[in-house]
Structures are given as structure tokens and as C-alpha cells.
Structure 1
Amino acid sequence: MTDRAETLGELRASGWVSRPVKDEIRANAVAKISNGDVLFDGVVGYEDTVMPQLENALLAGHDVIFLGERGQAKTRMIRSLTGLLDEWLPIVAGSEINDDPYAPVSKHARDLIDEMGDDTPIHWVHRDARYGEKLATPDTSIADLIGEVDPIKVAEGRYLSDELTLHYGMVPRTNRGVFAINELPDLAERIQVGLLNILEERDVQIRGYKIRLPLDVILFASANPEDYTNRGRIITPLKDRFGSQIRTHYPLDAELEYAIMEAEARPLSIGETAGVTVPAYLGEVVANFSQLARASNHVNQRSGVSVRLSVSNYEALAANALRRGLRAGEHAIVARVDDLDALAASSIGKIEIEALEDGREGAIFDSLVKGAVLTVFKERVDPSFTTPIVDAFEEGLVVHTGEDMSSDELAALVEQVPPLREPVGSLAEGDPSAASVAAAVEFVLEGLHLSKRLNKDDSGTSATYRGRL
């Protein structure tokens, strides 16, 4: 920052050129797209659907509204837009609304430049400070968004007609930046009217003053479809002023869901280096659970099944494995099928289960978990490996599993039932540890039970598998 201009004269001499924020974003987006760079880090699954539409909107200089259910990265994408702004921006020093030194808007900036000319001090603002966000609530007022008279300034002796008595709202304070309104339909309709000029005439008019502040701001908003049509609504003139409306969506398949879970979930550590391992096949079970919930007639689809459900379930699975492993005194901890019971606490509050009978929530949850396990089992385990295992059980073999059994005890079943070796080795992916082998053994046995090839007797946290004959 030492080579940045400190006065208006130095800024002119440096050759710096002022440009509207939409042109600034467009130019930086063009540079990234030309270089093949990703516009937004940490957003997965939108490469062929949402991103092309958003890139079009940015190149066209549109204000945008994202329409989609909860947990679809709408806010994350909006907040990431600051990465398309120039890193530093010069403003008139002391300006509350980021006044352009070449085209000042506020009375403070105009008076200062009239008085000091080329000696007007310049301040540089980082792009992260050029972002403003407001969660729309029914009590949001015009004063919050646009501005109002500041009684403190009046008490200091200024006249009400003095423009310096204004207290600027959040939108003017984000001048020359990006402003976002989340849950736009929750904003009272009379307040939405106050946004009309911002989106079309690009200015604000503050009550009681014959002033207009020509603002340079790009506006983004988010809304849920249910709110969009029922709980609240966006007034028609406001919808008309948004250049683009982009529909977001949940991950289209379990693979994308799993990728998001791995990126978002917080790892659990036992010590400085050791941690809990969640086998890939159990991670896929968690991802498939969410996918099945979104397709279930027993789940209220209007409220959505957020990706946050998958992340919370993944963390709950690891947490239960950690608790179990610590109680067993194990140093290498790997999540097992037993730990899937922990998903109930992290799921029931995040999805709205619709059942004709009271108390059916638990049964519906269990059905979704079993469906997810069976789906992954069929994808992961070669059927040719399972017939010898089933034959061993039909000859009278009985196997006990459960949370109270150590990894060593479960891993020993591979020696007791040699046909387990092939599918377990495939699932363990070369990890010979007892914890990894034990997890794979449980998964194979549960998959065979759900495939109706083994019987299972549940007893609390324990289970017994035996042949069906």
C-alpha cells in the first residue's frame, strides 16, 4: 500500500481510471473465464447448471435473484462475488458511502474536494469491505436500508434541511460495491418499494430531503420458492427490475453430495495426529440417505432437504465412532454400521417427516437409512463374493456384532468365515488395521441382511446374524 496515491492530485497523476462496479466485475470475470479459472471456490455441482447462468448475468451487468430451497449455497455464491472486485479501491477520505474521488456523491466529499482540490486526502478500501448484506425480516425499515435523519447530528446544532444530518443506511454505505438481501420475500412490501429506484434509476431518495444520491451498486437477493409464492411475495415491479433470476438446486447425485460433505465437514481428532476415519462406503451411505429423503413421499419436499443435513449426519457419524472408540480404548477409530444410529439426532430436526400415524417418524428414518445402506452395498460388493458367505451361515454359522464388540473381535470373523476376505478387502481398500476390517465386516453382514439373504436379531446396541433356513 506504500505506493498508493494519498491525495486526489497523486491519484490523477497515477493514471487510475474510475469505472462502475458492474464494469469492474465484468472485466475481472472476463479475465478469469479467459484464463480458465474458477469464479467461485468451494461451490460444487453447479458447473453445468447454475454457473453458466451466473456468468451470463455478470457479463450482462445484471442484478440477480437466486431462487432455491435452503442449503443450496445461495449466500455463499453471493459472498464470493467480492473476489471479482478490484483488490483496492480509492475513496474520498472520511466518506461514509465510498465516494468516488472523481465523482463525489455525498455533501461531505463534495465540500472537501471544493475546499482542498488536488490535496484532498484519499483512502484505500479493500474489496472485502465493499460487501453489504441484510437478512430481510418483517421489522426491517427504510431507515435500515436507505437512511434517516440522525437526531444526534440535529442535536449538535445542524438544521434539519442540512444534508449532513443524514444517517446513511446499509445500501448507500455499500456504494461502489455488492449488496445482498437474503430471504427477500420476508421484506414488507412497502419496504420493497424503496428498492425500486436502486435497481432502475440507480439512486436513493431519503424521506424529507430534496436530494438524490446516484449510487453505484450491484444488488443480489435470495429467496426460497415456498416463500416466493406463499409466506411472502416479491412485488411485481421489483421482480421486473432484476435482470436475471437463477434457480439453484440440490446435488444431482450422491457423488456430488459426498464431495460436498467431505469439503464441509469438520474433521474429528483424537490427538495431535490421529483422527476418526469414515470409510468411503459409509460416507456414500450418508449421501444416499439425503438423496433418498429428497425422493421420499414421507418427507415434506416443500421445506427441502438441505445439504447441511448431509454434513451434520457425516459429523454425527464420526462423533459416534469417536465416542465408541474412546470407550473401547482403541487408538485407530473407524466408523461402522453401528454408528449410523447416531444419524437420528442430526436428521429428525432437519427434515419434516409426514406420517398419517403418530410415532412413525422413527420407522421412516430407519427405512431411509436401510435403503441407503442397501443402495451402496449393491454398488460396492460384487454378488459373486456373497454366495459363499451365505452358504456358511446356512450351515449354522451365527455371528454377533454391535457397539460393545471391539474391532479385534469383529476383525477375527474374517478368519472364522474365510469367504469374507474378498469383499472385506475390497471395502477396506488395502487398510489391514483391525478397525478398518471390522467396519467392512459389519457392512457386508448388514448388506446381506438388507438383501434378505441373512436374518438379523436386534438387541439394543447388539445384533446377531444367522442364516435364513
Structure 2
Amino acid sequence: MTAQSPSAPFPTAPSPTTVGQLRASGHVQRPLRVEIRDNLLAALAEGRDPWPGLHGFEDTVVPQLERALIAGHDIVLLGERGQGKTRLLRTLVGLLDEWTPVIDGSELGEHPYAPITTTSIRRAKELGDDLPVVWRHRDTRYAEKLATPDTSVADLIGDVDPMKVAEGRSLGDPETIHFGLIPRSHGGIVAINELPDLAERIQVAMLNVMEERDIQIRGYVLRLPLDVLVVASANPEDYTNRGRIITPLKDRFGAEIRTHYPLALVDEIAVIRQEAQLVAEVPDQLIEVLARFTRALRESSAVDQRSGVSARFAIAGAETIAAAALHRATRQGEERAVARPVDLETAVDVLGGKIEFESGEEGREELVLDHLLRTATAATVQGLFTGIDFDLVVEALEGGDLVATGEQVSARDFLAGLPVLGESDLYDQVADRVGAGDDGERASAIELALEGLFLARRIAKDSAGGETVYG
């Protein structure tokens, strides 16, 4: 293998450019499932994580998936929306060899040792050891298709190409076929998202691919020994009313694996941190509030749990409060934008539409969201600030002091409006608990503590017109 080029999008491909050179190099062809199995077992033996970026599946989904791949099974993942099914499927790419030789110019990317189309077989006989070879990176060996009602057999399997017929070929000539996505994924992985949305007649067209590993196109007598791993995702049938996976196709998947939302709070937080594209700083304690809020929604009897509460809900929430912080910082001239608890309310305002409530909860949606957000905030405060004595600030507010915050109140103004507590280091204790440094982080931590005191009914709060006053 040649030296790697740091400027190339991929490390430099191996050097053989003809099938003769490939044989001389000692290259050995492996069937796709053997390749995936060998690479998975090698990663496990070396202690490498084959599933980067996945959180909460280590003891449940991943062991089932690994066993299915070792067995060489096609796989369907069943689970509610936002459970990471697509991300999990895309990580399968990492189990492929980094580089794979294919016949240069072949329509299906066939291995030089095993041509399967009429054209490639003819070229291999004519050129012999001079058959040209190019190298495919593993990223190009993964194809993904979102199943939609308008998907056709031609899209997935293939059809007659009228342009090739017009060139003078007869209709019985296999070279008149335009191959679909699955044959073009020969030697790789094809993923079909939302499989039940495929019309049943389209699913029928996949039966031969899944069992006999060949394809049938119209009346053509065509046998292509396809080497392809078919993986799919689907919502549980009790919720997906748009369609179903037909029984014969379901039977051809060797493994049906149920996914789930993160079982542990720490995994929920990790998913948000990993996936959210934040335009401002969002402190860890606010991410925790969002994670607890999301988990509370998943357990609420007011929410339709058949539809699920996607991880995208918390991710979008983090992105929304970051945007609110940047908006405030820009208008108030703050050097650094840091989200505060007051921004959580803006997230709820725009995210409510992502939740499907039970039919009996009409008109109470806002009350349910507000209650669960308060519950999540209170649990976060209790975990963070237990042991800190807030009596001095409570006494100050009972004595008539007021603390104002709001969507457009800067961190500096918020901190300047806090009651003076003499020699007490109470505010420093609060900041230290969350590792707050600058004004923005300190304001976020102290505001969360005040919100916790309000939820514990130790102080009062009045909100109106985008401003909140604790007193």
C-alpha cells in the first residue's frame, strides 16, 4: 500500500491498477458478510469501539446487532422516532474494508475476481490480466434510501432503459437494463429507512434479493449473484398506520432488533451534547434540565407514547435556547452569549408542536409542558445545589429586595440587581457547584438557583411581558 497523503479526502488507495497486479499483490476476495464479520471480530478482540457516537445501546441493542452481523443476517431495526436507528445503520460503514478493488467502469462495481454482469464478464475474458482496476473507499459502499409511497420497482431493482433499446439492442438483451439502487450496492450495504412506507408490491420485488440473492426485472431471465447486506429501519407496526412490512419480507430478515430511547440520564445528556449545533454556550445544568424534561414527557400519561418523544426534541431545545442567548447577547452588547433558565421558556413555546398529546388533553398542552419543565428544573436544582444554605437570599427577598431577569436582561444587569449579602460567599458557592467562571455562566447558575427556590415555594415569582421578577 502506498503512503498516505494528508491532503487527500481519503488515505491514498492501494497501488494495483490491473487484475494481474492485484493477483500478484496477494489480494484475497472475501464475501461481504465475511468481511464485516472479520472486521467486527478484530475490533472486539482489540478492544476498539465499532460503534462510535452511540449512547445507551451498549448493553441492549449493540450485543444483538453484533450477533446478527456475526451470523451474516440482514437486519431490520424497529423503534419509535428519534431513537438513533439511522445513525446506528450508518456506523456499519466502519466495519467495511477501507479500500476495495472493483472493475473500472463496471456498472455494479464488481470485484475483479468475480464479474457478474454480461459486459464485465466479456471484458474480463477479452482483457485477461490487463482488466483495469480502481479502488472504492468504504464510504461509497453504503447506500441509503428513504422509503416513500412513490418509490418504484425501477428505483430499487431496475427496469428497461429505453435509451439503450433505442441504440439498437433487442429487448431481450440484458444490457438494456438500467439497474436500481440495490443491484448498484453490490459488494456493499443498502439501508432502507421507514421500510413499511414501501408499497407492498415494491416489497414483493425485494423477496428474491433477500433470499436467493438475485434480481428479477420484468420478463428478463437474469440471475445476478448479488453480494449485498440489506438493513432497514421501521416504526413499530402498532403506531405506523401508513403501511406494514409484508410477512414474507419480514421472514427474510434474519434479525429484528428493537431500539429504545436512552435508559440513563447521562446517555440522554451525551446525545444532546453530541448532536446539537449550538450557536452560544449552553451550560451543563441547562442541558440536564432539557434531558430530564424530555424523559418526563416520555413517561407522562398526557403524551401519546405510541408516537414517542424523539431525541430531536431535546436537541432542538438546546439549539433554541442557544439561539435565544445569542439574540440577547447581540441586542445587549454582551461579549459572550450564555444561555440562562429564562431561555427555557422560549424553547417550550416553539417545541410544543413536536409532541403528540392524548386526545383527552386538548387545551391542556401548555399546562402539561409547563408542569413537566418545572419538575425537571426542580430535580436538576436539587441534585446540584443540595447542601447550600440559601437563607440569606430568601431573607433579603422577604425584606423587599427584587431580582429581575428576562429574555433581554443582560447577565451584567442581572448580577448587578442581586441582593447584597454582606460577607457571605453564597453566590460564589452556587457558581462553584457548576464550574461557572465569567458573568454569563455565573448569571445562569444563580438564576437557576432562584428558580429552584421559587419551585420549592421559598420565594415568589412574577412573569409578564418577557420579564421575570423574583421577590
Which band: TM-score by shorter chain?
Answer: over 0.9
Mapped to 2, the partners of 1:3 and 1:260 lie a distance apart of 37
Task: Provide the residue aligned with 2:3 in structure 1.
Answer: none
Please state how far the C-alpha of 1:362 moved relative to its aligned partner: 2.1
Question: Where does residue 447 of structure 1 map in the other structure?
Answer: 452
What is the aligned counterpart of 1:222 among 203, 211, 233?
233
2:93 maps to 1:89:
no
Could you tell me which amino acid in structure 2 is paired with residue 340 of structure 1? L
CA distance in 2, matches of 1:313, 1:437: 21
Displacement after TM superposition at 1:24 (Å): 0.5
TM-score (structure 1 length as normaliser): 0.92
TM-superposed CA distance for 1:398, in Å, is 3.4
Partner of 2:181: 170
Q: Are the counterparts in 2 of residues 24 and 86 from structure 1 also a CA contact under 8 Å?
A: yes
Post-superposition offset of 1:209 = 1.0
SS at match of 2:105: coil
Alignment of 1:146 with 2:157, yes or no, is yes
| Structure 2 equivalent of residue 241 of structure 1 | 252
Q: Which runs of 5+ in 2 are unaligned?
A: 1-11
Q: Residue type matched to 1:429 in 2?
A: G
Rounded Cα–Cα distance in structure 2 between residues aligned with 1:440 and 1:421: 9
2:116 to 89, 102, 105: 105
1:416 matches 2:420: yes
How many angstroms does 1:253 deviate by?
A: 2.7
- Counterpart for residue 337 of structure 2: 333
- Alignment partner, residue 469 of structure 2: 464
CA distance in 2, matches of 1:76, 1:451: 40
Deviates most, 158-167 or 256-265? 256-265
1:382 to 386, 403, 406: 386
Change (3 A) 1:122 1:437: closer
Aligned match of 1:55 in 61, 66, 80? 66
CA–CA separation in structure 1 for the residues paired with 2:239 and 2:276 = 30
Q: With the length of structure 2 as denominator, give the TM-score of the two structures.
A: 0.92
The amino acid that maps onto 2:377 is V
Aligned counterpart, 1:315: 319
Alpha-carbon contact 1:309-1:346 (below 8 Å) kept: no
SS of structure 2 residue aligned to 1:234: coil
Judge which range, 228-237 or 371-380, deviates more.
228-237
Task: Give how far 1:307 is off.
Answer: 0.7
Superposition deviation, residue 332 in structure 1? 2.8
- Provide the residue aligned with 1:293 in structure 2: 297
Q: Which residue of 1 aligns with 2:126?
A: 115
Q: Within the alignment, does 1:351 sit opposite 2:355 as a pair?
A: yes
For residues 76 and 103 of structure 1, what CA distance do their matches in structure 2 show?
32
1:13 matches 2:24: yes
Which amino acid is 2:289 matched to?
V
CA distance in structure 2 between the partners assigned to 1:396 and 1:174 by the alignment: 72
How far did 1:248 drift? 0.8
Q: Does the 8 Å contact 1:414/1:421 carry over to 2?
A: no
Alignment partners' CA distance in 1, 2:49 and 2:361: 49
Q: Is the 8 A contact 2:80 2:308 kept in 1?
A: yes
Q: Quick check: 2:357–2:365 contact (8 Å CA) kept in 1? A: yes
| Greater alpha carbon shift after TM alignment, 207-216 vs 364-373 | 364-373
1:395-414 aligned within 5 A: 395-413=399-417
Cα drift, residue 364 of structure 1: 2.1
Deviation at 1:8, TM superposition (A): 2.0
1:435 to 433, 440, 449: 440
**Aligned partner of 1:128 among 135, 139, 150:** 139
Secondary structure in 2 aligned to 1:416? coil
Match of 2:261?
Answer: 250
1:371 aligns with 2:375: yes
User: What displacement does 1:202 show?
Assistant: 1.2
Greater mean deviation of Cα atoms: 303-312 or 113-122 = 113-122
The superposition leaves residues 125-174 of structure 1 with CA deviations (integer Å, 9 ceiling, x where unpaired) of 22111112211112212111111111000000001111111111111111
Query: 1:204 pairs with 195, 211, 215, which one?
Result: 215
Segments of structure 1 that go 5 or more residues without pairing to the other structure are: 269-275
2:13–2:135: 8 Å Cα contact kept in structure 1? Answer: no
Aligned equivalents of 1:88, 1:457: Cα separation in 2: 63
Alignment-derived partner of residue 157 in structure 1: 168
Q: Which shows bigger deviation, 343-352 or 46-55?
A: 343-352
Q: CA deviation at 1:384?
A: 4.8
Shift of 1:228: 6.8
Q: Identical aligned pairs, as a percentage?
A: 51
Q: In the superposition, relative to structure 1, how do residues 243 and 357 fare at CA in structure 2: closer, same or farther (>3 Å)?
A: closer
User: In structure 1, how many angstroms separate the alpha carbons of the residues matched to 2:302 and 2:13?
Assistant: 62
Matched, 1:39 2:44: no
Shift of 1:277: 2.3
Counterpart CA distance in 2 for 1:253 and 1:80 is 22
SS of 2:122 mapped into structure 1: helix
Task: Give the whole-Å Cα distance in 1 for the aligned partners of 2:340 and 2:21.
Answer: 66
Q: Which segment drifts farther, 456-465 or 195-204?
A: 456-465
After superposition, the Cα gap between the structure-2 partners of 1:40 and 1:201, relative to the gap in structure 1 and judged at 3 Å, is same
Deviation at 1:199, TM superposition (A): 1.5
Correspondence 1:266 to 2:271: no
CA distance in 1, matches of 2:241, 2:282: 41
| Aligned partner of residue 261 in structure 2, secondary structure | coil
Look up the SS of the partner of 2:390 in the other structure. helix
